[in-house]
């Protein structure tokens, strides 16, 4: 063999792996794949789209409220904007479905309006968020039924119930204490509106068990359903989220800590629910419905003309008229204000009105005054609904007293640009120790707070009645502005508008 051939053979032999080398390489490949699988199974990759399960409820996905898209929805959208997530909603028919999707890892977060699983295995990588609201269970009954004790009805009738286990347990506990053995409850889905309609019809189910937070948005529109019994132990509103998603745990925790400590969560709760009357206001609602059917048609054209002239929502003007005079053009208050929109002589003269009791003038110049108050607050850069609350308070109390209250709120360490905080201060202007420190002095500030809250409530009800089936729909539908045709985006788009929109 030549020297050249021998060297070539040795080189080829040196690089030819044997069976043991192949086995070692294969074993290394298996170990590497296994390590990668173990790493990614225990260290999930970051996500760009946040999938959130939530019950299909009015308070979350609002169709009625003029004040925004829903409290929880608004918060979740804000969270995703802050941290750069795309948001994908998964609406569920029941709360139980939302929890199961989270437990199975099919969604990353679950908005629970009162639902808490009866057991939570320690193996589940799920974090329980802080409780941000509590609501008592309420037993509802049809107002058509004869007046009887609610617990007597439990004993001989089946009950519709939300799919929240703690509600049923609390109902049974209450009934047993009263020596009653209740019949089984029938679990309903997230659509409380359908449940309330069934109770109102009294077709076999005359009782419903719900938590008050989900009932509240629908209460003004179901006058045939009334609370019969409030149970003792409340349910908690909270969010649940996966703790095995990188950074999600830290971000949700920081988000809740920030919105609670800054007062942002409390401001949203005030905007969405702070105006609801404690007792339901069934008498006022009956009067409002009657006024819509019998009196509103007389003034609808004047309301529409004034709304267009001053870029206002016609339904807001309706709410102010009902609060001021209940559509009585000859109304006169003990302070001397007159007409449908209760203008003072001084204000009417300054605006150019010659007859406060003339319905057309009262509506036109009342709308003009509202607009002037709105414009006067522009320099403060308030959020849309805080600004309207201050404008309405100014309509009732005088804008000078509103500025006094804002100034006093700042001195007391409160946020003068938040209606939630200023409404706590405005009543103090009736006390000498406080109004003596202001420019405009004494005023019945508590009346201003009640005034604003009533108008906000009536405006909410009018918005709902303007598209929900009912006798009022025909009268109110023509007053709903076509926002697309006039180029005004929805209120909750984040754009500050010159006037009220829905």
Q: Which residues are catalytic?
A: 324
Q: Residues 6 or more apart from 360 whose CB is under 8 A from it? A: 302
Q: Residues 6 or more apart from 156 whose CB is under 8 A from it? A: 183
The number of beta carbons lying within 10 Å of the beta carbon of residue 62 is 20
In DSSP terms, which residues pair with 245 in a beta bridge? none
* Virtual torsion, Cα 422, 424, 428, 433, nearest 10 deg: -90
Distance of CA 71 to CAs 13, 75, 221, 237, 271, Å?
75, 6, 20, 12, 9
3-state secondary structure 440-478: CCCCCHHHHHHHHHHHHHHHHHHHHHCCCCCCCHHHHHH
Count of CA atoms in the C-beta half-sphere (13 A) of 478: 12
Q: What share of the chain is helix, strand, coil (3-state, %, to 5)?
A: 50, 10, 35
DSSP 108-177: SEEEEES---S---TTS-EEEPPP-EEE-EEEEEETTSPP--HHHHHHHS-EEEES-HHHHHHHHHHHHH
Residue among 435, 368, 358, 359 nearest 404 (CA): 435
The number of beta carbons lying within 10 Å of the beta carbon of residue 389 is 28
In DSSP terms, which residues pair with 239 in a beta bridge? 111
Question: Could you give the CA distance from residue 108 to residue 104 in angstroms, rounded to a whole number?
Answer: 10
Residue with the two structure tokens 């320690």: 122
Question: Could you give the CA distance from residue 362 to residue 342 in angstroms, rounded to a whole number?
Answer: 8
SS3 343: strand
327-359 b/e with 16+ CB inside 10 Å = b? bebebeeeeebbbbbbbbeebbeeeebeebeeb
Token pair for 193: 């509106």
């Amino acid at each position: 063999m030549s020297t050249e051939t021998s060297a070539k053979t040795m080189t080829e032999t040196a690089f030819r792996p044997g069976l043991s080398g192949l086995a070692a390489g294969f074993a290394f490949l298996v170990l590497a794949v296994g390590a990668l699988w173990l790493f990614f199974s225990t260290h999930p990759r970051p996500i760009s789209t946040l999938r959130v399960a939530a019950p299909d409820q009015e308070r979350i996905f609002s169709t009625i409220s003029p004040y925004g898209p829903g409290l929880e929805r608004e918060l979740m959208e804000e969270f995703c904007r802050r941290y750069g997530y795309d948001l994908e909603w998964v609406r569920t028919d029941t709360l139980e479905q939302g929890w199961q999707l989270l437990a199975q890892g099919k969604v990353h977060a679950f908005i629970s309006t009162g639902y808490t699983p009866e057991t939570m295995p320690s193996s589940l990588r799920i974090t329980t968020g802080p409780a941000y609201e509590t609501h008592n269970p309420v037993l509802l009954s049809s107002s058509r039924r004869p007046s009887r004790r609610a617990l007597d009805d439990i004993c001989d009738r089946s009950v519709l119930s939300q799919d929240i286990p703690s509600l049923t347990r609390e109902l049974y506990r209450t009934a047993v204490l009263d020596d009653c053995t209740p019949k089984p409850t029938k679990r309903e889905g997230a659509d409380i509106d359908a449940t309330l309609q069934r109770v109102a019809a009294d077709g076999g189910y005359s009782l419903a068990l719900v938590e008050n937070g989900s009932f509240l948005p629908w209460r003004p529109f179901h006058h045939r359903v009334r609370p019969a019994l409030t149970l003792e132990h409340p349910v908690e509103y909270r969010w649940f989220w996966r703790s095995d998603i990188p950074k999600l745990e830290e971000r949700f925790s920081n988000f809740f800590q920030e919105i609670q400590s800054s007062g942002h969560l409390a401001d949203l709760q005030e905007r969405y629910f702070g105006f609801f009357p404690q007792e339901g206001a069934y008498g006022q609602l009956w009067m409002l419905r009657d006024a819509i059917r019998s009196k509103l048609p007389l003034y609808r054209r004047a309301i529409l003309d004034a709304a267009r002239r001053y870029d206002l929502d016609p339904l807001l003007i309706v709410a102010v008229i009902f609060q001021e005079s209940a559509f009585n053009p000859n109304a006169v208050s003990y302070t001397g204000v007159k007409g449908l929109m209760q203008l003072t002589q001084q204000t009417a003269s300054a605006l150019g009105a010659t007859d406060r009791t003339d319905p057309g003038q009262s509506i036109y110049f009342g709308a003009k005054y509202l607009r002037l108050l709105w414009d006067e607050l522009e320099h403060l850069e308030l959020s849309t609904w805080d600004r309207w609350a201050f404008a309405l308070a100014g309509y009732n109390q005088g804008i000078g007293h509103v500025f006094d209250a804002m100034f006093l709120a700042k001195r007391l360490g409160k946020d003068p640009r938040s209606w939630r905080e200023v409404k706590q201060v405005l009543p103090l202007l009736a006390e000498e120790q406080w109004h003596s420190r202001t420019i405009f002095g004494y005023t019945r500030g508590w009346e201003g707070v009640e005034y604003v809250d009533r108008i906000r409530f009536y405006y909410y009800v009018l918005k709902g009645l303007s598209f929900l089936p009912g006798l009022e729909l025909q009268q109110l539908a023509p007053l709903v502005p076509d926002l697309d045709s006039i180029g005004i985006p929805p209120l909750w788009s984040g754009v500050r508008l010159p006037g009220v929109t829905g």
